[in-house]
Amino acid sequence: MKVTKFGGSSLANAFQIQKVCNIVLSDEDRKVMVVSAPGKRTKDDIKVTDLLIAVAKARLAGNSYEEELKKVIGRYEEIAEELDVKQVLPDIENRLTSIAAADYTDDVKYLDSVKAMGEDCCARLVAYYLNSTGHNAKYCNPEECGLYLKHDEAGKAVILDETYDNLAKLKDEKDVLLVFPGFYGVSKEKEIITFSRGGSDITGSILAAALNAEVYENWTDVDNVFAVNPNLVKNPFPITEITYDEMRELSYAGFSVLHEEAIYPVFKNGIPLNIRNTNNPSAKGTWIVSKRTHYDSLVTGIAGDKGFCTVTVSKYMMNRQVGFLAALLKIFSDEAISIDHIPSGIDTVTIVLRKKYFTPEKEAIIVDRIKNELGCKVSVDHDLAIVMIVGEAMANSVGIMARAASALSNAGINLRIVNQGASEISMMFGVSESYCSYAVRVLYKELFRY
Ligand code: ASP
């Protein structure tokens, strides 16, 4: 069986919803569909989730929220009228109205419960529509199905292990198409918890893993994932196949195809993930797999991301001091700062980290501790972008680093950090933030336009 997930642009209006239903019904192995909230109908439109966030924020600020709520209800009305299923509207309207007016003393819980309604109402509407057209479909309630989540220390929603066993029971539902709302689950106390934005991808991945699906189809609005951000390069090379490891490396450097946390459940269970286009279902899409069957090119993709900084620590004869690195890293871990890379010289170590976690307060504490406890010189630089060249086929092939470095040097881009692990799956370059997009373009031209 196949688990399908449809993003907001695939459900933005009645016409798109009809397309989605046709896609699901055209393959009887597609037994589960996970839906997002209706997205933008035009470039300047507002997603239902954003409208719901505005409702919750208005209420929390003590302002009137009715106007915003009307806009949300209006979106469902428009869809239901065009699909000729107006009978579903009183139920949707009641739910939205009562959730928006519910207790809001805990603002985080209130915001989560309002936000989740975009997906919830969409799933109810789609199931109703399928039934109205003579198909056997059923809305699945995440609470009743046991999709349990909790918050970790950082407030991030994490999946409780028992969720997988609970969802596996959906296998017993025979001859019915299951319509599951994405983006949220419940705590053991039955309170709604949402994932971070784009989290319906995670719901689909959990369901595919729990049901041991043959494939997790993630339907969006592009034919393929591209080898480079299409906003940077015209008609970039399409990726037909990529491994989970390659995808992970590219996502790290800013590739935003799927929610980052959506990869793990399917990866752990070896389930292939197929990215497809709702507006062009005949395109085969991009396959994310554990093991590649073919290579279209030596390099799979190139990505760049800004927002890094470096802490460079130097001390004469550092390399002779046993335990130095451990003591240095402990200072960062005491401050709960995670480290991304550690390029080093004989008497210097550079710690590369994400700026967003390295607040000015943390920076002051860490710099002081390194100076006082380790007796080192410290300098911090806040201007670093990471550019990654990723491709499993690069392993054992000679000369890619030379080509990449000389293309960057010919373009006048200074390389501040260079890193390649022994697995040879990726090469990393650290450049000034102002050069990030330019470096990606230069590398793409060199490595893809051979
Ligand atoms: N509707 C949510 C969002 O806009 C979740 C999703 O679409 O995956 O982020």
Using CA atoms, how far residue 400 sits from 26, 405, 412, 444, in Å, is: 44, 8, 18, 12
Query: In testing the pocket of ligand 1, which one of 47, 117, 219, 256 has its CB within 8 Å of the most ligand atoms?
Result: 47
Look-up of token digits 């029971």: 169
Which residue blocks in 101-188 are alpha helix, DSSP H? Answer: 107-115, 117-132, 142-145, 162-168
Residues 182, 5 contacting (CB under 8 angstroms): yes
Homologous superfamily assigned to 2-221: Acetylglutamate kinase-like (3.40.1160.10)
pLDDT at 254: 81
Q: Which residues, 6 or more positions from 354, have their beta carbon under 8 angstroms from its beta carbon?
A: 307, 308, 309, 338, 340
200 lines ligand 1 (CB under 6 A): yes
pLDDT at 199 exceeding the cut of 70: yes
User: How far apart are the CA of 199 and the centre of ligand 1, in A?
Assistant: 6
Q: Phi first, then psi: what are they for 241, rounded to 5°?
A: -145, 140
Lowest mean pLDDT among 132-141, 152-161, 302-311: 152-161
For residue 450, pLDDT over 60 is answered with no
Please report which confidence band the pLDDT of residue 13 belongs to, taking 50, 70 and 90 as the band edges.
very high
Using a 6 Å cutoff on CB, does residue 218 contact ligand 1?
Answer: no
Q: Is it the case that residue 395 has pLDDT exceeding 90? A: no
Mean pLDDT throughout 28-48? 97
Average pLDDT, the chain: 95
What percent of the chain stands above pLDDT 70?
Answer: 100
Among 50, 119, 207, 218, the mutation site with the greatest number of ligand 1 atoms within 8 A of its Cβ is 119
Ligand 1 contact, 254 CB (< 6 A)? no
Following CA atoms 245, 248, 249, 254 in sequence, which dihedral angle do they give, to the nearest 10 degrees?
A: 160
Q: Tokens for 1?
A: 């069986």
CB atoms within 10 A of CB 400: 19
The arithmetic mean of pLDDT across residues 49-71, rounded, is 97
* pLDDT at site 406: 96
Say yes or no: CB of residue 199 within 6 Å of ligand 1.
yes
Whether 47 lines ligand 1, by a CB cut-off of 6 Å, is yes
Q: By percentage, how much of the chain surpasses pLDDT 90?
A: 87
How much is the pLDDT for 396? 78
User: What does 252-275 look like in DSSP terms, one character per residue?
Assistant: HTT--SS-GGGHHHHHHTT--EEE
pLDDT 10s digits, 253-275: 888 788 889 999 999 999 999 99
Ligand 1 proximity of 49 Cβ (cutoff 6 Å): yes
Distances in Å between the alpha carbon of 158 and those of 197, 202, 203, 304, 340? Answer: 14, 10, 11, 28, 22
Q: Give the residue carrying structure tokens 């699945």.
A: 140
pLDDT band, very low/low/confident/very high, at 320 (cuts 50, 70, 90)? confident
Among 5, 16, 49, the mutation site with the greatest number of ligand 1 atoms within 8 A of its Cβ is 49
Tokens of residue 192, six digits = 């709604």
pLDDT digits (tens, 9 = 90+) for 232-256: 999 999 999 999 999 988 888 888 7
Nearest Cα to 353, choosing from 384, 331, 379? 384
Q: Does this model's pTM top 0.75?
A: yes
Phi, psi for 258 (deg, rounded to 5): -130, 160
Q: What is the 3-state secondary structure (H, E, C) of 367-409?
A: HHHHHHHHCCEEEEEEEEEEEEEECHHHCCCCCHHHHHHHHHH
Domain 301-448, CATH: 3.30.2130.10
Whether residue 153 has pLDDT greater than 80: no
Give the start-to-end residue ranges of the domains of the chain.
2-221, 301-448
Indicate whether 402 pLDDT > 60. Answer: yes
What pLDDT is recorded for position 389?
Answer: 96
For residues 60 and 102, is the Cβ–Cβ distance under 8 A?
A: no
CA separation for the pair 128, 136 (Å, rounded): 10
**Mean pLDDT score, 89-104:** 97
Structure tokens at 150: 């909790």
